[in-house]
Amino acid sequence: MYFKTEGVILARRNFAEADRILTICSRDHGKIVALAKGVRRPRSRKAGHLELGNWCRIFVARGRNLDLLTEVELKRSFGIVDFSEQKANKIYHLLELVDNLTAEKQKNLSVFILLVGFLKRITDGEDFRLLSLTFKIKLLSTLGFFSAKNIKNSNAKNLFETLENADFGKIKEKIKLTDRSYLKLLQFLDSIIENLTQTKLKTSRFL
């Protein structure tokens, strides 16, 4: 059985002599893991399409133990325009968050749309502190781990309700925070995420 979908490459690891196992946030099937055979060979046509953070159209064959990626077509490589290590680290941070917080084969179109939208905002040069803060709140809310309705402090509740429910354009207009406030809020959210996943965020230290 074959299926086609779109997906963002979240993670990858080498396998055998020339293969890679890819973790992909897909539009139609949630997070999937698939084997890309031969992509580490110098002449592989797929290799350049399967970089971390790339948004691709993919064709996958269902396998008994592991799905097989048979074809790939690049839609957008978010880090390639004005590439910098700093931009790459921001992209990798969002990928790690989605990878750590989502389970395999649980369709969630909202997570896919959220990830693609915020990867675009990174390439547009948006303030990453506000972007990261907003993405984490919206991701946690979408997955059912967070709701501003449960916060009792009225000032904090208003802030988190805006971050959770408003679009990013409105958030930029309404939210003005000090450096200290950003630091405290991001540390707070990272601690929630690490407690949920029982895993330290590896990319936080590079931001």
Q: Give the span between the Cα atoms of 143 and 75, in whole angstroms.
A: 26
Instruction: Name residue, tokens 């929630």.
Output: 192
Verdict on whether the full-model pTM lies above 0.75:
yes
How do the pLDDT tens digits run along the chain, 207 residues long?
Answer: 899 999 999 999 999 999 999 999 999 999 999 999 999 998 888 888 999 999 999 999 998 889 999 999 999 998 666 778 899 999 999 999 999 999 999 999 999 999 999 999 999 999 999 999 999 999 999 999 999 999 998 889 999 999 999 999 999 999 999 999 999 999 999 999 999 999 999 999 898
- In sequence order, the β-bridge partners of residue 199 are none
List domains and CATH numbers for the chain: 2-77 (2.40.50.140), 85-201 (1.20.1440)
Can you give the pLDDT at residue 79?
A: 66
Instruction: Name residue, tokens 């939210």.
Output: 175
Q: Is the dihedral of CA 151, 155, 158, 160 positive or negative?
A: negative
93 to each of 74, 97, 156, how far by Cα in Å? 21, 6, 25
Can you give the pLDDT at residue 155?
A: 86
